[in-house]
Amino acid sequence: MRKLIAANWKMHGDMSWAAKVDTLVDLIGDDTAHPNVEVLICPPAHLIPSMSDRAEGKDIHIGAQNCHFAESGAYTGEMSADMCANAGADHIITGHSERREMFGDTNDVVHRKAEAIYSSGVIAIICIGESLQQRESGQAEAVIAKQLSESVPDSATSMNTVIAYEPIWAIGTGITPTLNDISDMHGFIRKNLTERFGARTADNIALQYGGSVKPANAKDILALPNVDGALVGGASLEMSSFAKIVQAAG
Ligand code: PGA
């Protein structure tokens, strides 16, 4: 499977940032230069239409960072999955720990959002991850198993779902788990998905790692078994460093 290298810009970027699509293409070349890597940028919502226009024909995907689970309605400030798709997103992140922690996105909410994303014909990147306290008290696998069972819908397939494992304590901190710990957790997630969906589906669901991925550690992390890509925050804001991560993948 191609490695999926995704940028999560979070709440960064004015309209001039749309041009970063062209900057990135200049740095990484077209898909013939990185045939084993799929590249995705998830900017804040106001940038999705202009970036997806610029990305047309360039083998760069544009995604959204969140959506509401309803199709439409009186939800001031929200955007539906259909609206994200209509704006040009072909992936939508859901269940990022910042949303789980700050905006009340429970497993149930993430599950409903994932179903809405499937209905819109968009790929859901469902994020899961334990806190430091949960890891230190030996509960990491139990937390991940619960998030998988409650956040990932039964209708998940390798075509509509990507799972991003992002330990909360590694996000934006510069700290990463050891390579062994990443490998163990990705193996655990694959096993869990295999028990639920069967090997044919589970083997083809991309499992991304996220949390302080940068040019210096990307190659080692992306070489681990069961690591099919990366979700990159801070190091994706500058195209020079994001390009290095794309190149490390492929
Ligand atoms: P980070 O963020 O790369 O800045 O740690 C990752 C994420 O939140 O997806």
Percent of the chain with pLDDT over 90: 98
The whole-angstrom separation of Cα 68 and Cα 88 is 16
Q: Give me the chain's average pLDDT, please.
A: 97
61 is catalytic: no
The whole-angstrom separation of Cα 248 and Cα 250 is 6
SS3 content of the chain, % helix, strand, coil (to 5): 45, 15, 35
Rounded to two decimals, the pTM is 0.98
Higher pLDDT, 33 or 244: 244
Reply yes or no on whether the pLDDT at 17 is more than 90.
yes
Residue 111's closest CA among 141, 69, 165?
A: 69
Reply yes or no on whether the pLDDT at 46 is more than 90.
yes
Q: Which pLDDT band, with edges at 50, 70 and 90, does 156 fall under?
A: very high
Q: Is 193 in the pocket of ligand 1 (CB under 6 A)?
A: no
The whole-angstrom separation of Cα 75 and Cα 63 is 21
Find the 174 Cα to ligand 1 centroid distance in Å.
9
pLDDT of residue 227: 98
Residue pLDDT, tens place only, 72-114: 999 999 999 999 999 999 999 999 999 999 999 999 999 999 9
Q: Is 35 in the pocket of ligand 1 (CB under 6 A)?
A: no
Q: Which of 61, 91, 96, 186 is catalytic?
A: 96
Q: Are 6 and 41 in contact (CB under 8 A)?
A: yes
Q: Which atom of ligand 1 is nearest to the CA of 164?
A: 9
Q: Which pLDDT band, with edges at 50, 70 and 90, does 32 fall under?
A: confident
Tokens of 71: 């199709």
pLDDT of residue 30: 83
166 is catalytic: yes
Q: Any idea what DSSP says for residue 80?
A: B
